[in-house]
A and B are shown apart, each in its own frame.
Chain A
Amino acid sequence: MLEIRKLTTPLIGPIDLMLEPGTCSAISGASGAGKSLFLRAIADLDDNSGQISLGGTVRSEMPAPDWRRKVAYIPAESGWWAERVADHFDQTTGLGTLLDAVGLADALSWEVSRLSTGERQRLALVRALQTDPKVLLLDEPTSALDPPSVERVEALLKERLASGSALLLVTHDPGQPKRFAARRYHMASGKLSPLDQPEKAS
């Protein structure tokens, strides 16, 4: 589905990686190893070279905004540009369901400055899911969440997996790759290497 060949930036790579529909891949590694830079490069947010294609369509043949709607990168720290939460969302029909799924059904009327880190993290995920992306690049998606919220977010992500999306997960939570039956990779000084065979879902 997502094919990455020789992805290189001045700081990382070259990296090859293949993501299949309905599967999850998880990347671990020390801070500063280049995990976030790798995700940024896939989303074409930093200057990079190499070839990436989604379902046969080469990235360079697609306008960058279209690419980012299909291959969504959700950074560890979310960005907000307006005062009210509602101004960061398109008023689509599925929005209520998504907000409900992460336990933030009333959040639209809130102000961004009063959100907790965990609330921001969940809202940023909802915001990205609104474009119905085929691939999700998740940078520590549950790092600021309490256990019940982690469960909700993981359930939502498993739903996306079941509907055929591919996930690429950067996580420090040792149990998370297992819960997604993820293929595991390790990143060190900008190079990616496979860790072992996919594990069975628990």
Chain B
Amino acid sequence: MTGYLPLTYWDLVAASVFLILNAVFSILLDLGLTRTLIVSALRMTVQLILVGLILKAIFFAGSLLWTMLAAIVMLGFAGREIWARQDRRLIGVWGPGLGAAAMLVAGTLVTLYALAGLIRPDPVWLPQYALPLFGMVLGNTMTGVSLGLDTLHTALAQGQRAVEAQLLLGRTRWEATRPFVRQALRSGFTPIINAMAATGVVSLPGMMTGQILSGVDPREAVKYQLLIMFLLGGATGLGVLGATFGSVWRLTDARHRLRLDRLTGGSR
């Protein structure tokens, strides 16, 4: 093992040379990307430095309350992101609520299971383990849920006639929406399935890379990565299933009607 090699802030400035080079090219070639490029780079820098400070403070405080508060803020951002990524959204509190609830249940269940049953830090909620783990689980579940809901809502809105034709033949709301549910689940599951298939062959996952760079034996890093991937796959699956069926339940009613009036209009 080589051990962990710390970076100075000057190292970071030096690392941004190539990014600045890109900005120069953008000006020379009149790509109009300079502004966006610099703004996003600065935004990322500020966000990450802040996150570093906040995490440092939370780790230092070592309090359950602060750890939970951080988890709730993360959930809030992820819920907003799901809401923003949908072309057509459920109206009312269901819009932001359903995705967030699905992530909350799936993410919390999987994270707690991993912490209490597998990784077993002491105490179980130790922020050094709980927050990064919850963050990874949320990030992947978020992608799956937003894709699943977006696909479902667009498909139902465009397929109203097909759904109602089945309802009119005496099928239940679950039978009539099955082709669309299947489509939504498939698109929600695709990113995590692709990630599992490509991991290790095309890309080394960020967490594993990080552990290897900080001096951990690659075999140990692989074990951690596998654990994480299984958890991510599980949480994404539960989240996508919960959100999709929850949304079908909301977009139909007890008299087996399709209730597109509970969906906002879309732009495509």
Residues of A within 8 A of B (CB): 43-47, 63-66, 68-69, 72-75, 77-82, 124, 127-128, 130-131
Q: Are B166 and A79 in contact (CB under 8 A)?
A: yes
Q: Are B170 and A66 in contact (CB under 8 A)?
A: yes
Instruction: Offer 5 A-B interface pairs, CB within 8 angstroms, sorted by A.
Output: A64-B256, A75-B165, A81-B163, A81-B166, A128-B169
Cα(A73)–Cα(B165), bound, Å: 9
B155-181 to A contact mask, C-beta < 8 Å, 1/0: 000011111111111111000000100
Q: Are A64 and B257 in contact (CB under 8 A)?
A: yes
Q: Are A45 and B169 in contact (CB under 8 A)?
A: no
Cα(A174)–Cα(B253), bound, Å: 38
Q: CB-nearest residue of chain A relative to B175?
A: A65
| Known contacts A79-B163, A81-B159; A64 and B255 CB within 8 A of each other | yes
When the two chains form the complex, which single residue of A46, A65, A80, A131 contacts B165, counting CB atoms closer than 8 Å? A80
When the two chains form the complex, which single residue of A69, A72, A79, A82 contacts B164, counting CB atoms closer than 8 Å? A79
Q: CB-nearest residue of chain B relative to A88?
A: B165
Q: Are A45 and B159 in contact (CB under 8 A)?
A: no
Cα(A154)–Cα(B161), bound, Å: 25
Q: Are A43 and B168 in contact (CB under 8 A)?
A: yes
Q: CB-nearest residue of chain B relative to A81?
A: B162
- Interchain Cβ contacts within 8 Å, total number: 62
Interface residues on B, range: 20 to 34
Cα(A108)–Cα(B221), bound, Å: 57
| Complex interface: chain B residues within 8 A of A74 (CB) | 168
Q: Are A65 and B257 in contact (CB under 8 A)?
A: no
Q: CB-nearest residue of chain B relative to A133?
A: B170
| Known contacts A79-B161, A81-B166; A45 and B257 CB within 8 A of each other | yes
Q: CB-nearest residue of chain A relative to B170?
A: A69
Q: CB-nearest residue of chain B relative to A60?
A: B255
Cα(A75)–Cα(B168), bound, Å: 9
| Known contacts A69-B169, A128-B168; A80 and B257 CB within 8 A of each other | no
| Complex interface: chain A residues within 8 A of B253 (CB) | 47
Q: Are B179 and A81 in contact (CB under 8 A)?
A: yes
Q: CB-nearest residue of chain B relative to A124?
A: B165
B204-226 to A contact mask, C-beta < 8 Å, 1/0: 00000000000000000000000
